[in-house]
Amino acid sequence: MSLARATLLYEWRRFLPGLLSVAFAGVLMLVQLGLLLGMFGTVTVLVDRSGANLWVTSPETESFDQSRDIPANLGALLRLHPEVTRSETMLVHDADWRSGDGTRVAVSLVGLQPAADALACPQPMRDALCARLAEPSTVVVDRGEADKLHAVIGRLAEVNGHRVRVVGLSKGLRSIGNTYVFASAQTARELSEPSATGEDLTTFVLAKTRDGTPEGARDDLQSLLRRPAYRVWTAREFSMNSQQWWLTESGVGAGFLFSSLLGLIIGTVITSQTLRGVILSTLREYATFRAIGVPAAKLSAVVLEQSLWIGVLGAVLTVIVSILANALAQALYVPLVLTWWAVLTAVLIGLFTAMISGLLALRELYRLEPAELLR
Amino acid sequence: MNRSDAIAPSISASGLVHGYGKGAARTPVLHQLSLQFWPGELSLMMGASGSGKSTLLAVLSGLLRPESGSVNLLDTPIWNLTERELERFRFQHCGYVFQNFNLFPALTATEQVALPLHFAGVRETQARQRAEAALDEVGLSGRMGLRPAQLSGGEKQRVAIARALIGSPKVLFADEPTSALDSANSEIVIALLQKIAKTHGATVITVTHDPRLTGHAERIIRLQDGMVIEDSRPNGTDGAALSLAAGTAATGTQHSTGNHP
Ligand SMILES: Nc1ncnc2c1ncn2[C@@H]1O[C@H](COP(=O)(O)OP(=O)(O)OP(=O)(O)O)[C@@H](O)[C@H]1O
Ligand SMILES: [Mg+2]
């Protein structure tokens, strides 16, 4: 028998608001973070889905969507490194899309090697679509963007005023920032506005190392390319940095922090009020035990055990609801990313919230004057 | 006073002064009050509302520090103890019964009674056994699994008494333990408290309004405006008191002002 558990079970209705608010704060945090990660994850979809593990960008680049053009012949330099087995280029330029019926959309034209095993070829396009781009003046767009672009397989459209033909629809290559139109490097160069200098430029230079640990090669190449000139990333780094940049610099991250914090504060207030209410309703009983000489600390342990239970049950509820929300998001094609570390963090924060609430509610116990039972 | 040469009092208070409020707003409640109590006796403390009974009980039982005066409880000057020492002292020696029973709604009778042992670190099975014995002693063997919502007022107060008994206290303080009960239940409860005084050799001090309870007390103390106006022994020939007092207590009333027959 434990007083804490007996009371929780017997008066569970009293504890429910606290439990629900802990769970709610957790779910709010997880779903928001999941949506953010899902959204920002799409920014780097071409990095994450490519076969390259080294990326070279212009020096000021912090995020995938920011890189400026760099010389294409850097690839030759990369290949000099013994670890590097292959290198390629990827061109990403802003362009103007005009569908057959006149719909105009600002797009990002992506130029890559038209081969199934190309490093730049995103994984969902490997089985067929990349190779199909070898035919001049053909493009592939994502299924998810087809409606917006009025793109239909086999139909004609215009990119920067040049005629192209849609030869396929990819799947899962949508991004929040950009609408990608994939073409071969050759086609993309022809469709792009020509460079002023006539130098052979590209947006990214990609490479693949012999084994899965590109860090050594990155360090070597970085010192070779001296940082103000170019920046060498591992694919993982580049992806993380891009997402982090969106999270911190776009203001969306701050919004997330703010609303999560608000959720936590509200959760803490409601939970501590709940616990306080329970304490107040049994204040005479607690005072009786103070009179008997039970130290306030031992009575506090009862309240803290209750807080812990609220935290644990709230966390369990958080996890269950988040899993359901995740399933719902999948069904509705909402990009929601639920990672184990986010869930773990939410659970720990939930426990922490509950314990803080318990500590706040303890004031009532320490204020008790058992002499007031005698009146 | 006349008993003190025979057997040492378990509670001895002298020069108690207490009041509420400060300065001009101060309401004096206890005026230089001195009293002694002996083990094995139930003393009833009576008096008009506001006469200071509860205040006196709180001071005697180590719950309220008097402005001045001293209380020796079991030869310990309790108001010289630190807060922490006093807590431990109460835990070891004092039991309390209150008007409102103060039982946790979530616990069964057995759990209520075992709870003080639980806080003392006694093992679960042993605590349960002792709780059941205590409930048996207050005549509730058949009610052990019930929660307060399922118990009558009289039963609740008996559970509270069992809870007060569980630590085998030397002194038991009760403030209006019967005022929420009907007369039959009041009778049961007061008789129980008196029996406890006898069988446990405990000092029991009970504050009450109820004149019907006087028949169950060894001693009656009346307060008026914070002063003892009567200190009597209605059943002067009470066996326990007699034997404890070695004959000197049999004279009965002292300080009697004759306000009450
Ligand atoms: N905490 C307090 N603050 C201020 N005044 C108090 C406080 N407690 C008691 N008093 C006052 O002290 C006086 C004595 O109170 P006490 O509770 O001791 O009386 P009592 O004899 O127990 O009365 P009753 O029979 O009504 O319970 C009363 O006038 C009361 O108003
Ligand atoms: Mg009173």
Domain boundaries, chain B: 11-19+27-250
Chain B residues closer than 8 Å to A294 by CB: 87, 91, 116, 119
Mean pLDDT of B236-255: 41
- Does residue B141 sit at the A interface (CB-CB below 8 Å)? no
**Cross-chain Cβ contact A371/B167 below 8 Å:** no
Last residue in a domain, options A213, A230, A248: A248
A17 and A65 assigned to the same domain: no
Give nearest CA residue, ligand 1 atom 18. Answer: B52
pTM: 0.77
- The pLDDT of residue B108 is 96
Beta carbon of B52 within 6 Å of any ligand 1 atom: yes
- The pLDDT of residue B244 is 39
The CA distance from A255 to A135, in Å, is 46
- Nearest by CB to residue A285, choosing from B102, B114, B147, is B102
- The pLDDT of residue A256 is 80
Beta carbon of B53 within 6 Å of any ligand 1 atom: yes
As a whole number, the mean pLDDT across chain A is: 89
* Residue bearing tokens 């039970």: A294
Beta carbon of B18 within 6 Å of any ligand 1 atom: no
A134 and A93 assigned to the same domain: yes
Amino acid sitting at position A356 = I
Query: Where does the pLDDT of residue B259 fall: very low under 50, low under 70, confident under 90, or very high at 90 and above?
Result: very low
Residues 6+ apart with CB under 8 A from A126: A116, A117
By mean pLDDT, which of A193-202, A303-312, B6-15 is the weakest? A193-202
Where are any strands of DSSP class E within chain B?
A: 11-20, 27-37, 42-47, 68-73, 76-77, 94-97, 171-175, 203-207, 219-224, 227-232
Give nearest CA residue, ligand 1 atom 22. Answer: B54
Query: Where does the pLDDT of residue B55 fall: very low under 50, low under 70, confident under 90, or very high at 90 and above?
Result: very high
Chain B residues closer than 8 Å to A10 by CB: 105-106, 147
Counting ligands in written order, which one lies closest to the CA of residue B53?
1
Q: How far is the CA of B260 from the centre of ligand 1 (A)?
A: 23
- Does residue B241 sit at the A interface (CB-CB below 8 Å)? no
Query: Where does the pLDDT of residue B49 fall: very low under 50, low under 70, confident under 90, or very high at 90 and above?
Result: very high
Q: Measure B59 CA to nearest chain A CA, in Å.
A: 9
| pLDDT > 70? residue B96 | yes
- The pLDDT of residue A73 is 87
Q: How far is the CA of A374 from the centre of ligand 1 (A)?
A: 9
**Cross-chain Cβ contact A293/B94 below 8 Å:** yes
The CA distance from A10 to A278, in Å, is 12
Q: How far is CA A126 from CA A113, A131, A174, A182, A247, in A?
A: 11, 8, 16, 13, 30
* Ordered DSSP codes for B122-136: --HHHHHHHHHHHHH
- Three-state DSSP state, B94: strand
| pLDDT > 50? residue B253 | no
For B167-198, give one letter per residue: b (16+ CB within 10 A) or e: bebbbbbbbbbbebbeeebbbbbbebbbebbb
- The pLDDT of residue A119 is 93
| CB-CB contact of B205 with B171 (8 Å) | yes
| CB-CB contact of A149 with A13 (8 Å) | no
| pLDDT > 70? residue B175 | yes
| pLDDT > 50? residue B249 | no
A263 and A190 assigned to the same domain: no
Listed ranges A56-60, A252-256, B39-43; the one with the highest mean pLDDT: B39-43
**Cross-chain Cβ contact A3/B107 below 8 Å:** yes
| pLDDT > 80? residue A137 | yes
Beta carbon of B54 within 6 Å of any ligand 1 atom: yes
- The pLDDT of residue A196 is 55
- Nearest by CB to residue A288, choosing from B84, B88, B98, is B98
- The pLDDT of residue B58 is 96
Give nearest CA residue, ligand 1 atom 25. Answer: B49
- The pLDDT of residue A67 is 85
Question: Domain span at residue A268?
Answer: 3-42+250-373
Return the bridge partners of A272, or none: none
Q: How far is the CA of A140 from the centre of ligand 2 (A)?
A: 89
CATH topology of domain B11-19+27-250: Rossmann fold (3.40.50)
A364 and A292 assigned to the same domain: yes
Domain count, chain A: 2
Q: How far is the CA of B49 from the centre of ligand 1 (A)?
A: 8
- Three-state DSSP state, B42: strand
pLDDT digits over A75-119, tens only?
988 899 999 999 999 999 999 999 988 889 999 999 999 998 999
A81 and A179 assigned to the same domain: yes
A21 and A99 assigned to the same domain: no
A7 and A96 assigned to the same domain: no
By mean pLDDT, which of A164-168, A257-261, B172-176, B225-229 is the weakest? A257-261
The CA distance from B226 to B224, in Å, is 5
A323 and A185 assigned to the same domain: no
Mean pLDDT of A197-222: 87
Chain B residues closer than 8 Å to A371 by CB: 58, 63-64
Which three-class secondary structure string do you get for chain A?
CCHHHHHHHHCHHHHHHHHHHHHHHHHHHHHHHHHHHHHHHHHHHHHHCCCCCEEEECCCCCCHHHCCCEECCHHHHHHCCCCEEEEEEEEEEEEEEEECCCCEEEEEEEEECCCCCCCCCCHHHCCCHHHHCCCCCEEEEEHHHHHHHCCCCCCEEEECCEEEEEEEEECCCCCCCCCEEEEEHHHHHHHCCCCCCCCCEECEEEEEECCCCCHHHHHHHHHHHCCCCCEEEEHHHHHHHHHHHHHHHCCHHHHHHHHHHHHHHHHHHHHHHHHHHHHHHCHHHHHHHHHHCCCHHHHHHHHHHHHHHHHHHHHHHHHHHHHHHHHHHHHCCCCCCCCHHHHHHHHHHHHHHHHHHHHHHCHHHHCCCHHHHCC
The CA distance from A309 to A14, in Å, is 14
Mean pLDDT of A45-52: 93
- The pLDDT of residue A346 is 87
Which of ligand 1's atoms lies nearest the C-alpha of B223? 21
Nearest of A128, A220, A208, A120 to residue A168 by alpha carbon:
A128
A238 and A210 assigned to the same domain: yes
Q: Measure A296 CA to nearest chain B CA, in Å.
A: 10
- The pLDDT of residue A1 is 59
A167 and A312 assigned to the same domain: no
ipTM confidence score:
0.87
- The pLDDT of residue B248 is 39
Query: Where does the pLDDT of residue B242 fall: very low under 50, low under 70, confident under 90, or very high at 90 and above?
Result: very low
| pLDDT > 70? residue A210 | yes
Backbone angles phi, psi at A139, to 5 degrees: -135, 160
- The pLDDT of residue B254 is 44
Q: Measure A268 CA to nearest chain B CA, in Å.
A: 25
Last residue in a domain, options A192, A226, A248: A248
Mean pLDDT of A301-327: 93
Q: What is the DSSP letter of B70?
A: E
- The pLDDT of residue B173 is 97
Mean pLDDT of B57-80: 96
Q: How far is the CA of A375 from the centre of ligand 1 (A)?
A: 6
- The C-alpha torsion from A213 through A184 and A205 to A70, rounded to 10°, is -170
Give nearest CA residue, ligand 1 atom 16. Answer: B52
pLDDT digits over B177-220, tens only?
999 999 999 999 999 999 999 999 999 999 998 998 999 999 99
- Does residue B118 sit at the A interface (CB-CB below 8 Å)? yes
End-to-end CA distance of chain B: 22
| pLDDT > 70? residue A21 | yes
By mean pLDDT, which of A26-30, A227-231, A284-288 is the weakest? A227-231
Last residue in a domain, options A225, A248, A271: A248
- Three-state DSSP state, B145: coil
The CA distance from B77 to A62, in Å, is 75
- Does residue A153 sit at the B interface (CB-CB below 8 Å)? no
The CA distance from A20 to A317, in Å, is 8
Amino acid sitting at position A1 = M
The CA distance from A56 to A75, in Å, is 9
Mean pLDDT of B226-232: 93
A151 and A175 assigned to the same domain: yes
**Cross-chain Cβ contact A282/B58 below 8 Å:** no
| CB-CB contact of A259 with A341 (8 Å) | no
A60 and A29 assigned to the same domain: no
- The pLDDT of residue B48 is 94
Amino acid sitting at position A284 = R
The CA distance from B4 to B249, in Å, is 10
Site from B20, B59, B60, B63 to mutate, A interface, most A CB atoms within 10 angstroms? B63
pLDDT digits over A263-311, tens only?
888 888 888 888 888 888 889 999 999 999 999 999 999 999 999 999 9
Q: Return the axis-axis angle of helices A12-41 and A252-281, rounded to nearest 10°.
A: 170
